Chains A and B, each alone.
Chain A
Amino acid sequence: MTNFYDANLVLIQSTFVGLLMALSIQVPLRMGVFSFSGIGCYGVAAYGAAILTIRYETDPLVTILLSALVCGVLNLLLGMMVNRLGGLYLGMATVAFDMIVSVVATNGGDLTGGPTGLFGAITDITMTQVVVICGVVVVALALTERGRLGRRVDTVREDPELAAAMGIRVRDYRLASFVVSGVLGGAAGAVNSLLRSTVSPTDIGFSLVVLALTMIIIGGARSWLGALIGAVIFTWLPSVLEVVGQWQTIIYGVIVALAAVYVPRGLVGLATDGWRRLRRRQPADTVAVADDTTPDRELAALENLAQDTSMGRTS
């Protein structure tokens, strides 16, 4: 076990960074906001953390927290600017932001080290700290997927008009998703720079956007578990595919394409569907009863939602 851990330390570290990065794209997506600005924040924080560490030798935890906070504010400002865009336009505006960050990093002169980047951001960051950060993030996000808050988030995504009609402040939810996305992207970037002790413009290019997006699409876009599964798969897949040698990029592409066509809700969605089908495969009479109750249950869920939102306004 220790052997395995030591031999694959880099991959294990990358998995945690990948998880934070994937979550920074997933949180806005769960609110129906097609924003990739978390990756731009990743870039800002990756450089910010490296600069802080090299010039001022700050404590790693302070560096990470500071980067995350600054990126949360930065992304909120960006979110206020692009808030009226929707769909692919929002996606592309935020991709443009990400790419501008990487162009600025390339042209930043001494501050960012130009095309070669920065080296020597050495700190005493430990894996325990990284795991604790990821754990806190995952627990906090898991809580937003349950109960009232979870239902409100689902409504904001699936039917913003309905949500607005029920008193959910759609705009506030969307802006909150930008803040969370910025904090997560910033934390991911800072953690990555400190773990690797280097950062260069090629680390924060368009391929990172694609990587984060594929992680949550393959894993599942609705739950933190999907991001985790995606992060594990796409961090480890290249080393698993080393068996097939040069053809690994082709297989990688085919897997992504097939998943987009046939498993659009990701592995988590596939598992949920399979579980439901399994439960339905029961004697005929119970199935009939179960079918009868579904509309009622949906109605009850709607009523719950109505109550939640009205309470949300009065409280």
Chain B
Amino acid sequence: MLQDLINAVALGSIYLLFALGMSLAWGTIGILNFAHGSIFMFSAFTAYLIVNAVKLPLVAVILIAAIAGAVMSVAVQVLAFEPILRRAKDSRAAEMQILIGGIGVAGVPLAIAQHYTKSNPFGFTNSSFKVDTFDLGGVRITSVQIIIIALALVLGVGIARWLQVSRHGLALRSIGVDPEVSSIMGVDRRRLALTTMTIAGALAGLAGALLTYNLGALTPESGETLILKAFAAIVVGGVGSMAGVVVGSYVLAIAETVVLTQTSGLWVDAVSFGLIFLVLMFRTQGLFGRREVRRT
């Protein structure tokens, strides 16, 4: 029972690291990046290629993955999303084009990784870091799980505080409320958008490297599944709310663990979709979100 709880918390922390960047970009600059899962996977893949050439410790591998994620995320923003936002006739059209553009972009790194790995899982077998397992009175936890949980909590709380307290955070939240007014007040929207995408990409890379360590290996397709799970976590918590995405990630992980341990079969995949559906039906704004007003 306690073992299940620890596993659920570790799983939730992975969801959180992944969803945090997605939620940050969506809740502030309004970009729902469907290439996030692909960036997540390809950062881990980049680190894997480098680790294969040079024996590296855990910190270096994570750093490489985070940098790779940040670079890719900024590239997607500059090459795809910025032109879309410049050319789209209204925000609703832009929303949809960004969705499609993200889906298209996501296919490219996926295809490259599938090509090199022949769709087999890849892992950091050449890394100098070895996973330790601690036994605490019948409950087992690995060193990677401890790192994941600690990082998720530190980054989750840290980014939430940053958004609340710092001038940058204030500017970013003001874009989320009203982009035009915030521009008039002297917020450099383009620069802040790039900063946001950098952070989001780095978080995706971080999550990718850590999940690869945790599972031992990652499949090229794993990003696609995580995108839908992260979406569930964000919607459950409420778009734009950092506390929401933290709670949403753990709620999702615990619900999935309960279903996994209590039922036979493959029902666990239905949990995230069921949660999305239930929340949107009965509490559209999520647990922590603001209610949007729509008249028609």
Residues of A within 8 A of B (CB): 34, 81-82, 84-89, 91-93, 95-97, 99-100, 103-104, 106-107, 115, 160-161, 163-164, 170, 206, 210, 213-214, 217, 246-247, 249-250, 252-262, 264
Contact = CB atoms under 8 A, between A and B. Distances in A.
A95 B34 CA distance: 14
Contacts of B277: 93, 96-97, 100
Interface in B103-127: 103-108, 110-112, 114-115
B276 interface: yes
A88 B273 contact: no
Nearest to B30: A88
A50 B270 CA distance: 23
Nearest to A245: B115
Most-contacted residue by chain B among A34, A89, A247 (CB, 10 A):
A89
Nearest 10 pairs between A and B by C-beta? A253-B107, A256-B104, A257-B104, A249-B111, A260-B101, A160-B296, A96-B273, A103-B270, A260-B100, A96-B276
Interface of B is mostly: helix
Contacts of B32: 88
Interface string B23-48: 00000000010000000000000000
B84 A261 contact: yes
B93 interface: yes
A246 B104 contact: no
Contacts of B18: none
B95 A87 contact: yes
Given A93-B277, A103-B267, A262-B87, 8 more contacts: A88-B99, A96-B273, A100-B277, A107-B265, A246-B115, A249-B114, A255-B104, A261-B87
B269 A103 contact: yes
B183 to A, nearest CB: 23
A87 to B, nearest CB: 6
A259 B224 contact: no
B280 A88 contact: no
B281 A253 contact: no
Most-contacted residue by chain B among A82, A104, A264 (CB, 10 A):
A264
Given A250-B111, A260-B101, A100 B266 contact: no
Most-contacted residue by chain A among B99, B232, B280 (CB, 10 A):
B280
B280 A253 contact: no
A248 to B, nearest CB: 8
B217 interface: no
B231 A92 contact: yes
Contact of B80 (A82, A104, A206, A260): A260
A34 B231 CA distance: 17
A88 B276 CA distance: 12
Interface string B217-252: 000000010001001100100000000000000000
6 contacts: A87-B95, A103-B266, A106-B265, A161-B295, A163-B296, A257-B101
Contacts of B87: 261-262, 264
B267 A100 contact: no
Contact of B296 (A107, A170, A206, A210): A170
B167 interface: no
B92 A87 contact: yes
Contacts of B95: 87-88
A85 B280 contact: yes
Contacts of A106: 265-266, 269
B274 A96 contact: yes
Most-contacted residue by chain A among B32, B87, B235, B277 (CB, 10 A):
B277
Contacts of B273: 95-97, 99-100, 103
Contacts of A96: 232, 272-274, 276-277, 280
Nearest to A174: B296
B191 interface: no
Contact of A213 (B93, B98, B103): B103
A257 B274 contact: no
Contacts of A206: 224, 228
Nearest to A97: B277
Contact of A264 (B97, B272, B276): B97
Nearest to B82: A261
Contacts of A82: 280-281
B166 to A, nearest CB: 28
Most-contacted residue by chain B among A99, A213, A252, A254 (CB, 10 A):
A99
Interface string B188-220: 000000000000000000000000000000000
A164 B80 contact: no
B254 to A, nearest CB: 19
A34 B232 CA distance: 18
Contacts of B84: 260-261, 264
B141 interface: no
Contact of B97 (A97, A115, A161, A260): A260
